[in-house]
Amino acid sequence: MCLILVAWQQHPDFPLVVAANRDEFHARPTAAAAAWPEGQSVIGGRDLEAGGSWLGFSSGGRFAAVTNVREPGRPRGPYSRGWLPRDFLLGAEGAWTYGQTAAGRETSGFNLLVCDFRDLVYCSNRDGPARKLAPGIYGVSNHLLDTPWPKLTAAKAAFAAALANLPDRERFFALLADREIVSDRYLPATGVSLEWERLLSAIFVLSPTYGTRASTVGMVTRSGSALLEERSFDCSGQLLQSSLISTGV
């Protein structure tokens, strides 16, 4: 997952609203968003290679999502980052407690957002201690929370404007579909080639081998139920399928 946008306590009907793109190699096996067999109250996509997830919701207003920190050349951790959302969603631990211990997991660099309907918590093993987030709008890509990369700055502005249209979700999907490449002078320097910096600068990443595999919009109601819509794409950016699922309270 390479782009997550979150509105926390910013809408009268939906205390948590999420819009996200998952960027991944197209060859990596993936299951589309659905109820999980080992926890029917959990909904989200699954990584079939390592068994984790990039984003999901569960009953009672629980939410978790992860992105990687871009750090080419650094050795990989022994455990998949996708187990961080998985373990939170299948467990019962509070977001604050979980976030305080998650950074100690032996994984590659990550950003993790977890919510238990009381607290929204951000943690990273490439940043300082976990912290509870005040009501507001947040975004994370492949550096730290709210790093002002051009794609994240543009996406946050469009996301904030789209909140007024809820429960309609089309403006969120429209912003997640933006394929504009950022001008070279505004590109971050993250240790990859200029060609890859250009490719990854778009909100919707498109290439034959790596790119945006899924766009997701999710929201939690005041009662604690969640609605998730996922649209998945092939290597040419064409829609493969769309899933709309929900949790109970």
List the CATH number of the domain containing 84: 3.60.60.10
Counting the structural domains of the chain, the total is 1
Between CA 149 and CA 73 the distance in angstroms is: 21
Mean pLDDT of 138-165: 97
Phi, psi of 161 (to 5 degrees): -70, -30
Q: Which residue segment(s) compose the domain that 19 sits in? A: 3-246
Mean pLDDT of 206-210: 96
For residue 75, pLDDT over 90 is answered with: no
Q: Please tell me whether the overall predicted TM-score, pTM, comes out greater than 0.85 for this model.
A: yes
- What pLDDT score was predicted for residue 82? 95
Is the CA virtual torsion 143, 144, 150, 154 positive or negative? positive
For residue 249, pLDDT over 70 is answered with: no
- What pLDDT score was predicted for residue 149? 95
- What pLDDT score was predicted for residue 1? 61
- What pLDDT score was predicted for residue 174? 98
Report whether 204 contacts 178 (CB < 8 A).
Answer: yes
Query: Is residue 176 within a helix (H) or strand (E), and if so which, with residue range?
Result: helix 170-176
